[in-house]
Structure 1
Amino acid sequence: MGIGIEGEFSLVSVLVSQGSLCYTSSYENTPIYACFAGGLSALILLCARAQADEQQEVRLFLETHCVECHGAETQEAKIRLDTLEFPSNEHVTAHVWKRVVDTVERGEMPPDYQDQPEDSEKQAWVEQVVHVIAQANPQPIALRRLNRLEYENTVHDLLGIDVPLADLLPEDGKVQGFDKGTDGLSFSSVLIEQYLEAANVAFDAAIRRYAPLPAEIRRTDLMSVSENIDSVRKKKGGVIEIDNSFVKFTPGWPPARLDPVNPIEDGVYRCRIAVWPHNPGDRTLAVAIYEGALFRGDTREFIGNFDVTGTSKEPRIIEFTCKFAEGDTIYVLPRIWPEHVTWRDKHEQRPGVGIVWA
């Protein structure tokens, strides 16, 4: 027995008459759930009737423009449309409807010698077919969770943080090689626990528990660094000093490091580096700049390639903004195009990059 609400008032029952809603007074003390059931039945009946009318309109278009060549007597391309059922569990006809819609949409049917419907009528009919088939075969809405990378990006945008979160979560399942499919993104108790851990890390990063250090400008001249002075004196890697600049030739590792300007606190920093080309000849000189931990080379992040122009007296100032962790440093690696020149090549002077300060 259902739960009803009774009272001393008249309820309204819904009757369906000629496709319209008619309201009549009902007896007092009628349970309200009876009214709801009647209204739901009426709505279902209305939807079914509207769907049947729409299907009839689709078939009317076929009878007017298509059945002459695809009917009981003639079936061009072995397609018969006067008895074509809409797709369902019992009727596997979606491929036929697709062919019909495609030919009508491309203007291939009806043929030129027959009366042609207006383009607007064709388009309306195509949309109607798609709507009828979609209503007859509703697809279940598949809900899925975010994968690890989507979760990390969403939390970063939400809280304005940049701490790694994806690695705290288990590997996402893959469907046909992709990690965004619903079937591969399942839930488990372990996953929920890892989500909670990742959330704690995110909130810890969002809430600063100590005051930031005052803003400070840190600068170093490359030839004031003892390691560079020693490298020039001992000609390590062929480096030289020109006009108080540290000139590096090697287009590969190891790069020049700017250790004296290491950040002492995590944050976003604006960086400037003064560079100039030494004996470029007809070649293009550039530097590749990286940011990363001083003693963990596998954590370097590529900042970008920058053309090296200017002179030792008026070097180019490369400027960029980057996020640094405490103790990170900047790596400057010379690049020479179209190819590098080694000390064995005697036909031209070796191009190099002079680094003045940072």
Structure 2
Amino acid sequence: MGKALIIGAGGVASVVVHKCCQNPDIFEEICIASRTLEKCEALKNKLEGSKTKITTAQVDADRTDEVINLINNFKPDIVINVALPYQDLTIMDACLATGVHYVDTANYEPPDTAKFEYKWQWAYKEKFEKAGLTALLGSGFDPGVTGVFTAYAQKHYFDEIHSIDIVDANAGDHGYPFATNFNPEINIREVTANGRYFENGEWIETPPLALKKVYDLPEIGPKDIYLMYHEELESLAVNIKGVKRIRFWMTFSENYLTHLKVLENVGMTSIEPIEFEGKQIIPLQFLKAVLPDPASLGPRTKGKTNIGCIIQGIKDGKPKTYYVYNVCDHQEAYAEVGSQAISYTTGVPAMIGAMLVMKGIWKKPGVYNVEEFDPDPFMEELNKNGLPWQESFSPTLLD
């Protein structure tokens, strides 16, 4: 059917590449591009013999001109951006300049502040409309599948949605005293930011990890969950009409939080540059360099993730509750694609989003979040591509 340019060569990109190669009728040819060509070559070598033709390229995704040149050389139908969120806008600019559709998994962030806002990308809506191109934002799991889950609930089970609680639980154990399951820089910026949730048309801010509950999750049991801010709350608050409250919860172990607090107290999570031996360094970037590479956690991580949405509202004049979730096994994900479940749950939906745009099913000029499209084709592809979902109509509610 067509060609995809995949920018990035980390754990999530590896999953995207594997999943594209499992769908060679859609992805006839892919190019893996990253700042480090060796990583792209290593990925290509893993999939030797695939029906999908694979090429590689070196690109600095901070430079729009380099991305433009690469697109002009490879001539893809779509760009799947699984690089860093700081590079979203340069890649979107390159897609506009070359007439190519765009998909990413995380919203743009300015490098100097942890903002987690869509405003910069939403500002591109008119440009993409005029160019006749689709930009699909946040086609990962959260954001991504959580938005699709909500749209599915709205379409099939509710007349009005009043509250949404997104619960992201990772019961995996990698055996290290402290490590992050995805890019440490992004992960630690998220966790150390203030919590925030949407209620009655307003955003309410809380100190980092100040609100804690225990939730009993299917297949992984009771876990400590903490209220955090996550970018899909912003788009769901706009796109799910009439919703009164939206919150996001994530699990953290005591061990993880103790390590994080110590690192924060000694200044290692700071993004303010400091001088060290005559050079300017950012402590958080130095910390990232000494922590285990998330891509290396795959072979040693055991256990499961459970990510889903607990939704309350009204159907036919009566109160209704609905819980839709996916359970993913770290070891099964690693056996299939060589990455643990955190990368797997992000990479599979990125491929599905790109597939739906390429098929024309989710193709509409402009900039869109996943919940703005028909959820049914996406939900069907989740079941086919390794992320089957389950549902319950009598979940325990979060007060």
TM-score (norm 2): 0.18
More strand by share: 2
Which is greater in Rg?
Answer: 1
TM-score (norm 1): 0.20
Structure with the bigger RCO (C-alpha within 8 Å, sep 6+) is 2
